[in-house]
Amino acid sequence: MIYLDNSATTKPHKEVLATFMQVNELYYANPASIHRAGVEANTLLAKAREQIAQLLNTEANHVLFTAGGTESNNFAFYGVAKKGNFRGKHIITTEIEHPSILEAAKRLQSEGYEIDYLKPDKNGVISLDELQKKLRKETILVSIMHVNNEMGAIQPIEEAATIIHENSRAMFHVDAIQSFGKLPITFKDEAGPDILSLSGHKIHALKGSGVLAFRKKPMIEPFLVGGGQEFGLRSGTVAVPQAVAFAKAARLAIEALPVQLEKYKKWSTNLHEYFAQFGSEIFVLSPKNGAAHILSFSVRGLKGEILINAMQKRNIIISTSSACSSKQTKTSHVVEALNVDGQFKNGVLRLSFGAFTTNEEIEEFKEAFTAVMKELKGDNER
Amino acid sequence: MKFKEILVRYGELSTKGRNKKDFINRLRDNVRYSFNDIMPLKIRAERDRMFIEIENDEKLNVLMDRLPHVFGIQSFSPVASCGKDLDEMKALALDILEDYRDAGDITFKVEVHRTDKTFPLNTHELQREMGATILPQFSNFTVQVKKPDVTLRVEVREDAIYMMAQVIQGAGGMPVGSNGKSLLMLSGGIDSPVAGYLMMKRGVRIDAIHFFSPPYTSDNALQKVKELANGLTKFGANVRLHVIPFTELQVAVKDNVPDNMSMTSTRRMMMKVADKVREEVGALGIVTGESLGQVASQTLESLTAINDVTSTPILRPLISADKLDIIKIAMEIGTYETSIQPFEDCCTVFTPASPKTKPRLDKVQHFESFTQFDELIERAVKNRETYIFPQKEVKEDKFTDLL
pLDDT tens-digit series, residues B114-128:
888 888 888 889 999
Query: Which pLDDT belongs to residue A382?
Result: 45
The Cα–Cα gap between A192 and B137 comes to 25
For residues A53 and A60, the answer to whether their CB atoms sit within 8 Å is yes
Contact (CB<8Å) B403/A244:
yes
- Name residue B123's amino acid: T
Give the bridge partners for B6, in sequence order.
B52, B78
Q: What is the pTM of this model?
A: 0.68
Measured CA to CA in angstroms, residue B229 lies from A225, A382, B234, B238 at distances of: 35, 77, 10, 9
Best CA proximity match to B210, nearest among B194, B224, B197, B190 = B224
Cα B136 to chain centroid distance, Å, stands at 44
Buried-exposed string B237-248: b where 16+ CB fall within 10 A, e elsewhere: bbbbbbbbbbbe
Report ipTM (2 d.p.): 0.76
- Mean predicted confidence (pLDDT) in B314-321: 96
Position B393 pLDDT exceeds 70: no
Cβ burial of A129 (10 Å; 0-12, 13-18, 19+) is exposed
Q: Does B370 touch chain A (CB under 8 A)?
A: no
Best CA proximity match to A212, nearest among A234, A244, A228 = A234
Cα B178 to chain centroid distance, Å, stands at 13
Give the bridge partners for B211, in sequence order.
B244
Within a 13 Å sphere around the CA of B204, how many CA atoms are in the beta-carbon half? 22
Q: Which percentage of chain A shows pLDDT scores above 90?
A: 85
- B109 φ, ψ (degrees, to nearest 5): -150, 160
Which residues of A sit within 8 Å Cβ distance of B?
Answer: 19, 22-23, 34-36, 39, 43-44, 47-48, 51, 190, 244, 247-248, 251
For residues A270 and A351, the answer to whether their CB atoms sit within 8 Å is no
Contact (CB<8Å) A19/B402:
yes
**Structure confidence by residue, pLDDT tens digits, B42-80:** 898 888 889 999 888 888 888 998 899 889 899 999 999
Best CA proximity match to A345, nearest among A291, A290, A283, A287 = A283
Q: Which of A324, A343, A345, A361 is catalytic?
A: A324
Q: Does B402 touch chain A (CB under 8 A)?
A: yes
Active site residue A373: no
Q: Which percentage of chain A shows pLDDT scores above 70?
A: 97
Position A36 pLDDT exceeds 90: no
Residues of chain A in contact with residue B219, where contact means CB-CB under 8 angstroms, are 36
